[in-house]
Structure 1
Amino acid sequence: MDYMEGFRCFTWSKSHFPEPHRMVQELKEDGFKTVVIIDPGIKIDHDYWVYQEGIKNDYFCRRADGPLYKGTVWPGLCHFPDYTREEVRTWWAGLFKGLIQETGVKGVWNDMNEPAVFEIGTFPNDVRHHYDGDPGSHRKAHNIYGMQMARATYEGVKNFSYPDRPFTITRSGYAGVQRFASGWTGDNIASWDHLWLANIQCQRLSISGMSFIGSDIGGFIKSPDGELYIRWLQLGIFHPFCRTHSSGDHGDQEPWSFGEPYTALARKFIELRYQLLPYMYSTFWQYTTQGTPMLRPLAFVDQTDPDCYHRMAEFCLGDNLLVCPITQPGVDGRILYLPQGNWYNFWTGLMEAGKREVWADAPLDKVPMFIKAGAVVPFYPVQQYVGELAAPQVALHVYYNQGTCVSELYEDGGEGYGYTEGNFLHKVFRTEGSLTLFTLTQERKGDGQDGYRYYAIFIHGLQTHTAKIIVDEQEVTWENVAATNLIFVSVPNDFTLLQVIPSPIV
């Protein structure tokens, strides 16, 4: 909020940010996408244009006996728009033209929209709301106020971002808010208890329909030490909304703020998130088209296994990736439960049978992380920001299993609405394994174009030595990367059938 002129929403500080358009464009050239914060509190200031419009059109909330409600937030005394009125939402949406269309801001972060005020925490119960023609008190409207603000913000950002897609964040919401915004779990504390809580909250929000969720990595209030920060980052990189955020009152809290070895560890896990982006994007596509949560507690993964019902720490991101964060200080591993099937330890490459507890080594440079056997997991090369590599080649990490497994990779422009006209690629990979043959097939749907010509394929866990690999009836060269159970082969992006032929048993 420090970018504003005296905390007045939709303004820029003339002294601190005299050329906002130039600043935002220069940040864009360096790979940064600017997101600004907006609150519902409109400062009572007769020279402030947003206040003037709200007063002129009677857009602000009133008390039961008639006067406009006044509450104190960061600007001082404020009035608050009644977002439960359609005409107020339309007005609010139009206010974003300057920030989005003219200045070039890429997204908006709605804060304090529970709504929050300093006097008593939120509005008094007698504050009245239009409620889209079914008037009521704040007792009725409180839970939907923040969602209606997010809705109005979304409409404004969407209108003025076109032809790009909108990006919004909200601190408050209600059932259905996932249509309008991403979110985070609010003002947490830099403690191990709140790291544990962040894991549970995000899982439960995800299965409640709000998958685009995360927490303030490291804690908003107080300061973490290096160990707590890294362990929190190891959880946060698997959350769809991934952000370090703090109040700023307790010292720096950037990935490089804690010195070595923590800076190198932070870099390692941030880079891992960038590598996993095609997998996460595909999981996001599944969520938006099929309604499947991105973060899945074990009880969701296997509802037939009673041992999954009471496990809270473990969760799956999408179909094929299982994570169990470390939420205690000074430990170098933990016991976790693997659901049915076989699972590969991401760090060691060793396969573990499911439906049982296992021990996972996890010194500070590792987080317990397992890949479902049979899965195909796409990886990007490391990049410093999304879009740095115009067409990053995709590596496919393929995990051997006996039996059949289906995985998906969804790709589109990442921005814009071309996908609505067929400009996307939906790739379905099927693995099938036995002791005598392992196959990988690809089915491609959509009219999009690959930005790369080849897949770099890594096949993990083969049970026998490989004699040859055949791709679409042509034998190809391959490499043994590290051991007999990990091989590498480069194949055309439009291949349909890859066969791994094992060596004869002597």
Structure 2
Amino acid sequence: MITNTELNNQGNVFPGKLTSFDHTVDTLMFSTDNGVILQLQVLRDSVLRFRYGVGGKMEDDFSYAIDHSGNRGYNKLEVSEHKDYYEVQTSKVLCRISKADLRSRIFDIDGKIICEDELGFHYEESYQYGGEIVKMSKKAQPGESYYGLGDKPADMNMRAKRFELWGTDQYAFGKQTDPLYKNVPFYVGLQNKTAYGIFFDNTFRSYFDFAHERHHVTSFWAQGGSMDYYFIYGPDVNSVVSGYTELTGKPELPPLWALGYHQCKWSYYPESNVREIAAKFRELQIPCDAIYLDIDYMDGFRCFTWDNDKFPDPTKMISDLREDGFKTIAIIDPGIKVDPDYSVYQEAMDNDYFCKRADGPYMKGKVWPGQCYFPDYTNPEVREWWAGLFKGLIADNGLSGIWNDMNEPAVMEVPNKTFPDDVRHDYDGHPCSHRKAHNIYGMQMARATYEGVKKFIYPKRPFVITRSAYSGTQRYTSSWFGDNVATWEHLSIANIQAQRMALSGMSFAGSDIGGFAEQPTGELFARWIALGVFHPFCRVHSSGDHGDQEPWTFDENVTNITRKFVELRYKLLPYLYTTFWQYAEEGTPMLKSLVIYDQEDAQTHYRNDEFIFGDQILVCPVLEPNAKGRRMYIPRGEWYNYWTRETITGGREEWVDADIDSIPLFVKSGSIIPRYPVMQYVGEKKIEFLTLDVYYTIGKEKSIVYEDANDGYDYKKGRFSLRNLKFKGSEKEMVISQYKDGKFKTEYETLRFNFIGLPFEIDYVEVDNAKIPLEELKYDVKTQTMYIHKEFSELHVVGK
């Protein structure tokens, strides 16, 4: 592995002196006397792209990560020449490019340094493979913190750490295991209360060093390709993540059922076992929306087939499960069994769709079916073929979603766990070796799967889950964190990974609740379910090797605790769905580490455990056995304890009671939180009223509630309901005003207000300036609830 010390070796080439400059619209070209080229492109006022070429030429401009439908354009672009540098100014930042060596310095418009090159761009020739090893080093400012890089199982703040990006099947990984399944070369830097992001769009094996080897230097480098990175200005962390997600693509809304509780195991078979599991959920009244089929549903692990002995009539089984409110999701891996009697294999052979070695033979590797060949998903023709294969599973059999696994790609019984470097790929018309394609192989498989599921499930919305991913994969799928272990350490890792993934633009993610490998105790499972219901993707999954892991596997107390927390998730579905809509619209993370929530509070910069679910709910899991509570950091502001309804002022650490059936949970004062009634599955009952929990405060707060048909695409035609709610409270009164947007008519007409922390006795209520008798509102003094049977613009509550 290349070390930072080697950055100073004589083999490195640095840009020479500037010899020419050109400015065309949004792009500036700088050329030097030793053939280094810098193309600086202004995508937005806050987004600059730095792309370097060597030998007087630029590589082809192609990326799987960038979403070209994203917002582009700027309000201001001025370029000026000075004695030693060129200055590029937008309405947000100033960028100076040195004439001596192309090193860059970026300032905010007040002249405060945000990000500056140390050695800057440099490279060395790769004598083993050809091309260049490209490198970039930047100054690490005193006190600067770093966050991101996807699913890394390390502390949130990456200062003084080094990481590698090379998608790897890491069964039973541990804390600090690196590399892992996903490849997200994006990080956020935070210094002097100002945040920025760097996205290094290079798919080769790459490395990030955050002041690990040299305390004043942060660097990133790759073993091939070009130095192509994007600078994204905040100044707040949330805006950086939003800007990155805008750049690499925002997701579509999933169907609402995909945000419910999912149950999975390796493996539920035969059919009678699947039906038994489903029946038990309904018998015990534990809500559940999806059941998964692992590799054993297939005929000899051949993808797109069924084992007719285990599943004699899968279409009827799936239909019956759907009648009882269960969606069925099945696994599909990339390895295609070498079998001339297997139609999928034969089609791919006939059309030359499999990956090949450099000298011509097909890439052969052992996976679950035995010896397999592997489709080249970087070939658009192969992706189209692969998408078409889902007609049987989706359109004919009735599956509701597909689960992609083993797509790092993973290969068994070989030292490097994956393809050899010499495997060739089409790369959408830019032929390359596996060195370049490895980190996006899983992404392109997930893309092809998504396109197939979307085509055949239309007019409903697709649901796909993937294990391996590269930046931009959020456009196509959700993901989980891979093969974890049933330990307390892994409960902590899951908490960090979910936050880190959300900060890396991939919010729709979660862990195998309870742990995939080994068997959790009832206490660990209870604590994990309490955390897992607050992750955007919520699925229990286990290997089955050490016993079952359904909610009823443990004692009755654990079963009841599981039901309690799953019911809480279903109550909060409108809040979670609204949060997803914000993510899909604005690119904002669904889970917010405390540093995102309040970066100006230095206490948040190294916090790992606490996070904000959406915008207004604070969660902190209990991560140790035999605990009756824990110390946690309460962010600044006023918060309500969800369970006791007591208020607390934040900005400090506090002990919070949380027995086995509880989790430290707080709601920001002034919030209006929407709730649905408990259902056993999404759509089970007609919603007769929407509950709005109003957490009183003296002051102002904004909340929103987004709803639509919960599936389909009518919302894109304006058929949605968006409630913009404003709360204003004083000592003796409160006003809730509402502006409603969208053409969707909800199935309920009644709003049930639940006032929490109201310090006064209500004298009268006005709805749109008309006094309404409390009896007509069915006001209950004890519970402080009332019902309004029509839409309103302003609700005015006055105390005695």
TM-score normalised according to structure 2 size: 0.62
Counterpart pick for 1:47 among 341, 344, 368 = 341
1:495 aligned residue: 792
2:714 aligned residue: 418
User: Residues 668 and 695 of structure 2 are in contact (CA less than 8 Å); yes or no, is this contact kept in structure 1?
Assistant: yes
Q: Secondary structure at the match of 1:498?
A: strand
Percent of pairs identical after alignment?
A: 56
Structure 2 residue 442 is the aligned partner of structure 1 residue 135? no
Counterpart pick for 2:732 among 424, 436, 451 = 436
Q: Secondary structure at the match of 2:317?
A: helix
Q: Secondary structure at the match of 1:36?
A: strand
User: Residues 688 and 750 of structure 2 are in contact (CA less than 8 Å); yes or no, is this contact kept in structure 1?
Assistant: no
Counterpart pick for 1:475 among 766, 772, 781 = 772
User: Residues 780 and 786 of structure 2 are in contact (CA less than 8 Å); yes or no, is this contact kept in structure 1?
Assistant: no
**1:148–1:476 CA distance, 2 compared to 1 (3 A):** farther
Q: What is the Cα deviation at residue 159 of structure 1?
A: 0.3
1:195 aligned residue: 491
2:315 aligned residue: 21
Q: What is the Cα deviation at residue 493 of structure 1?
A: 4.3
Q: State the alpha-carbon separation in 1 of the partners of residues 759 and 555 from structure 2.
A: 43
2:284 aligned residue: none
Structure 2 residue 632 is the aligned partner of structure 1 residue 328? no
| AA partner of residue 495 (structure 1) | F
1:62 aligned residue: 356
Q: Secondary structure at the match of 1:149?
A: helix
Counterpart pick for 2:467 among 164, 171, 182 = 171
Q: State the alpha-carbon separation in 1 of the partners of residues 750 and 345 from structure 2.
A: 57
| AA partner of residue 793 (structure 2) | T
2:109 aligned residue: none
Counterpart pick for 1:227 among 518, 523, 526 = 523
Q: State the alpha-carbon separation in 1 of the partners of residues 621 and 348 from structure 2.
A: 47
User: Residues 422 and 434 of structure 2 are in contact (CA less than 8 Å); yes or no, is this contact kept in structure 1?
Assistant: yes
2:762 aligned residue: 466
Q: Secondary structure at the match of 1:18?
A: coil
2:76 aligned residue: none
Counterpart pick for 1:75 among 369, 377, 380 = 369
Q: State the alpha-carbon separation in 1 of the partners of residues 432 and 530 from structure 2.
A: 45
1:109 aligned residue: 403
How big is each residue's C-alpha offset from its partner over 1:59-95, in whole Å with a ceiling of 9 and x where there is no partner? 0011111100110010000000000111010100000
- Which stretch of structure 1 is more off in the superposition, 114-123 or 240-249? 114-123
More helix by share: 1
1:376 aligned residue: 672
How big is each residue's C-alpha offset from its partner over 1:146-174, in whole Å with a ceiling of 9 and x where there is no partner? 00000000000000010000000001100
More strand by share: 2
Q: Secondary structure at the match of 1:468?
A: strand
| AA partner of residue 722 (structure 2) | H
**1:493–1:73 CA distance, 2 compared to 1 (3 A):** farther
Q: Secondary structure at the match of 2:393?
A: helix
Q: State the alpha-carbon separation in 2 of the partners of residues 32 and 39 from structure 1.
A: 23
Structure 2 residue 331 is the aligned partner of structure 1 residue 37? yes
**1:286–1:493 CA distance, 2 compared to 1 (3 A):** farther
How big is each residue's C-alpha offset from its partner over 1:99-147, in whole Å with a ceiling of 9 and x where there is no partner? 1111111000001001111022111111111111212211111110000
User: Residues 412 and 423 of structure 1 are in contact (CA less than 8 Å); yes or no, is this contact kept in structure 2?
Assistant: yes
Q: What is the Cα deviation at residue 437 of structure 1?
A: 1.6
Q: Secondary structure at the match of 2:795?
A: strand
User: Residues 191 and 228 of structure 1 are in contact (CA less than 8 Å); yes or no, is this contact kept in structure 2?
Assistant: yes
Q: State the alpha-carbon separation in 2 of the partners of residues 383 and 416 from structure 1.
A: 21
Counterpart pick for 1:92 among 386, 392, 398 = 386
| AA partner of residue 714 (structure 2) | G
Q: State the alpha-carbon separation in 2 of the partners of residues 181 and 2 from structure 1.
A: 23
Q: Secondary structure at the match of 1:229?
A: helix
> Runs in 1 of length 4+ with deviation above 6 angstroms?
none
Q: State the alpha-carbon separation in 2 of the partners of residues 330 and 432 from structure 1.
A: 42
Q: State the alpha-carbon separation in 2 of the partners of residues 34 and 376 from structure 1.
A: 34
Aligned ranges 1:280-299 → 2 under 5 Å: 280-299=576-595
- Which stretch of structure 1 is more off in the superposition, 462-471 or 128-137? 462-471
Q: State the alpha-carbon separation in 1 of the partners of residues 336 and 790 from structure 2.
A: 53
Q: What is the Cα deviation at residue 481 of structure 1?
A: 5.3
Q: State the alpha-carbon separation in 1 of the partners of residues 686 and 796 from structure 2.
A: 31
2:54 aligned residue: none
How big is each residue's C-alpha offset from its partner over 1:400-458, in whole Å with a ceiling of 9 and x where there is no partner? 11111000000001110000111110001110011132111111000010110111110
| AA partner of residue 349 (structure 1) | R
Q: What is the Cα deviation at residue 480 of structure 1?
A: 4.3
| AA partner of residue 29 (structure 1) | E
Structure 2 residue 477 is the aligned partner of structure 1 residue 211? no
Q: RCO greater where, 1 or 2, for CA within 8 Å and sep 6 or more?
A: 2
Instruction: Tell me which structure has the larger Cα radius of gyration.
Output: 2
Structure 2: stretches of 5+ with no match in the other structure: 1-294
| AA partner of residue 169 (structure 1) | I
| AA partner of residue 62 (structure 1) | K
How big is each residue's C-alpha offset from its partner over 1:205-241, in whole Å with a ceiling of 9 and x where there is no partner? 0010000000000000000010000000000000110
Q: State the alpha-carbon separation in 2 of the partners of residues 481 and 87 from structure 1.
A: 66
2:186 aligned residue: none
1:265 aligned residue: 561
Q: Secondary structure at the match of 1:330?
A: coil
User: Residues 764 and 771 of structure 2 are in contact (CA less than 8 Å); yes or no, is this contact kept in structure 1?
Assistant: no
**In angstroms, what is the RMSD of aligned CA positions?**
1.0
2:571 aligned residue: 275
User: Residues 200 and 313 of structure 1 are in contact (CA less than 8 Å); yes or no, is this contact kept in structure 2?
Assistant: yes
Structure 1: stretches of 5+ with no match in the other structure: none
- Which stretch of structure 1 is more off in the superposition, 60-69 or 457-466? 457-466
Q: State the alpha-carbon separation in 1 of the partners of residues 515 and 764 from structure 2.
A: 52
2:188 aligned residue: none
2:119 aligned residue: none
Q: What is the Cα deviation at residue 352 of structure 1?
A: 0.7
Q: State the alpha-carbon separation in 1 of the partners of residues 332 and 388 from structure 2.
A: 14
1:9 aligned residue: 303
Q: How many residues align?
A: 500
Q: State the alpha-carbon separation in 2 of the partners of residues 342 and 476 from structure 1.
A: 32
Q: What is the Cα deviation at residue 463 of structure 1?
A: 2.0
Q: Secondary structure at the match of 2:763?
A: strand
User: Residues 423 and 446 of structure 1 are in contact (CA less than 8 Å); yes or no, is this contact kept in structure 2?
Assistant: yes
Q: What is the Cα deviation at residue 470 of structure 1?
A: 2.3
**1:239–1:392 CA distance, 2 compared to 1 (3 A):** farther
- Which stretch of structure 1 is more off in the superposition, 366-375 or 302-311? 302-311
Q: What is the Cα deviation at residue 392 of structure 1?
A: 5.1
How big is each residue's C-alpha offset from its partner over 1:236-262, in whole Å with a ceiling of 9 and x where there is no partner? 000110000001111010011002211
Q: State the alpha-carbon separation in 2 of the partners of residues 165 and 298 from structure 1.
A: 32
Q: Secondary structure at the match of 1:428?
A: strand
User: Residues 688 and 749 of structure 2 are in contact (CA less than 8 Å); yes or no, is this contact kept in structure 1?
Assistant: no
2:700 aligned residue: 404
Q: State the alpha-carbon separation in 1 of the partners of residues 532 and 561 from structure 2.
A: 14
Q: State the alpha-carbon separation in 1 of the partners of residues 686 and 468 from structure 2.
A: 35
| AA partner of residue 180 (structure 1) | Y
- Which stretch of structure 1 is more off in the superposition, 146-155 or 10-19? 10-19
| AA partner of residue 247 (structure 1) | S
User: Residues 380 and 392 of structure 1 are in contact (CA less than 8 Å); yes or no, is this contact kept in structure 2?
Assistant: no
